[in-house]
Amino acid sequence: METLQNVVDQMLPNVIQSETGFLVDGDYGSNAVDVAVTDTGLECQCFVAQVSNGECEHVRIVRDHLASNPMPDDKPAITQADADYYLSKVSELDEVLAANTESATKQIDRIKLWLEVEMDKLVRRKDYYTLALDNYMHLNEFSTKHLVNGTLKVRTQQPEIKVTDEEKVLTDKRFVRIVPEKRAIDKAALRKYCTQTGEEVPGTEIILKPHKFSYKLDGSAQ
């Protein structure tokens, strides 16, 4: 027949200790609560402890546990029943973790879709305004214009010289530089010649680029 003390011990919440604190395992479906060991003592993150700034029931349980179970030299003994119970708790937590991860993933996907749609709409609207500002600068032949809300700028971009046939270009010694043990295209000389003369050297293609429009708002740069 069980003694009264044994019955009381079974009814008390289980306390598990780690290097950083204690886990007060609640009974009857209640959640386990962490009680951390800090420089100032025991600290619990439960609602009561947060709103009252005082000692909650979980801290009192840990204090009672320490008082009735002096720190042993070795790790406390755990029975097979304890191990099986702890394993069941791990299983429950794994299920919660999996459910939370699945839920979070769905929410993240929905948020990403929402952001993509909203960004697309906003970028399209922004493009209307920047195109109008670009036309304003072009029609008035401004290169820089200071406005109340910021500064508009337009600069001419150099054409891109695309080498379509390297062997053909290498036949023209004007655009060849000697790299140790290798003949290579002198792209600087090629660019200079093409931009100055407008001539497409055999094996190249001149790709003209539109002017670049930019703006700078007060406190930011675009």
The pLDDT score that the predictor gives to residue 105 is: 95
The pLDDT score that the predictor gives to residue 7 is: 37
The pLDDT score that the predictor gives to residue 13 is: 57
The pLDDT score that the predictor gives to residue 97 is: 92
Q: What are the extents of the domains in the chain?
A: 4-76, 78-141, 152-217
The pLDDT score that the predictor gives to residue 26 is: 65
Q: pLDDT tens-digit profile of 17-61?
A: 887 888 887 654 467 888 888 888 888 888 888 777 767 888 888
The pLDDT score that the predictor gives to residue 60 is: 86
CA distance 130 to 136: 10
The pLDDT score that the predictor gives to residue 144 is: 94
Sites in the chain below the pLDDT cut of 70: 1-13, 26-30, 54, 70-77, 181, 219-222
The dihedral region occupied by 158, where left means phi > 0, alpha psi between -120 and 50, and beta the remainder, is: beta
pTM confidence score: 0.47
The pLDDT score that the predictor gives to residue 219 is: 63
The pLDDT score that the predictor gives to residue 31 is: 76
